[in-house]
């Protein structure tokens, strides 16, 4: 049976794979072997904070974190193209969205933040930060 951390990752991963891009770009998940070609792709990073106990007695913990999904595309398009892709990602994770994997429910706590894009060699990166919380 997977541990809580794995269940959180799987719930987030399943939602990411349903992003409404047409066509869906390749996705670089953490620890995946990934070599970008010349087309746009999504780079995913997941960060979590140390769990906090609710009670002195043994029981559930409050787990929080952030998933960052960066839309990464070759530089040279109108800036609105990159920002629109970030907005598409943000809209796919509305606040109070509940994602489930087995017995774990990951709740999106706030509307995602489309961060200002930046140049990374020949690519333009538009990060979108998505805050989540789990009680498990």
Position 76 scores a pLDDT of 93
Both structure tokens of 23: 């066509």
Taking all residues of the chain, what is their mean pLDDT, rounded to a whole number?
93
Position 49 scores a pLDDT of 87
Secondary structure of residue 99 in the 3-state scheme: strand
Write down the number of H helices and E strands in the chain: 2, 9
Domain 4-135 is in which class?
alpha beta
- Locus of tokens 């809209």: 91
Give the pairing type, strands 41-48 and 26-28: parallel
Lowest average pLDDT, out of 7-16, 55-64, 89-98, 125-134, goes to 55-64
Q: Tell me the per-residue pLDDT of 43-101, one tens digit each, with 9 for 90 and over.
A: 999 998 888 776 666 667 889 999 999 999 999 999 999 999 999 999 999 999 999 99
What is the rounded CA–CA span in Å between residue 30 and residue 1? 21
Sign of the CA dihedral running 32, 7, 21, 118: negative
Phi-psi region of 127 (alpha: psi -120 to 50; beta: other; left: phi over 0): beta
């Amino acid at each position: 049976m997977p541990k809580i951390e794995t269940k959180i990752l799987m719930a987030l991963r399943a939602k990411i794979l349903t992003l409404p891009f047409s066509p869906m770009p390749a996705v670089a998940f953490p620890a995946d072997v990934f070599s970008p070609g010349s087309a746009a792709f999504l780079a995913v990073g997941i960060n979590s904070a140390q769990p906090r106990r609710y009670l002195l007695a043994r029981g559930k913990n409050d787990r929080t974190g952030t998933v960052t999904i960066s839309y990464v595309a070759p530089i040279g398009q109108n800036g609105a193209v990159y920002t629109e892709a970030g907005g598409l990602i943000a809209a796919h994770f509305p606040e109070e969205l509940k994602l489930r994997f087995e017995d774990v429910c990951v709740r999106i706590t706030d509307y995602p933040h489309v961060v200002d894009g930046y140049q990374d060699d020949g690519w333009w990166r538009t990060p979108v930060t998505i805050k989540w919380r789990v009680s498990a």
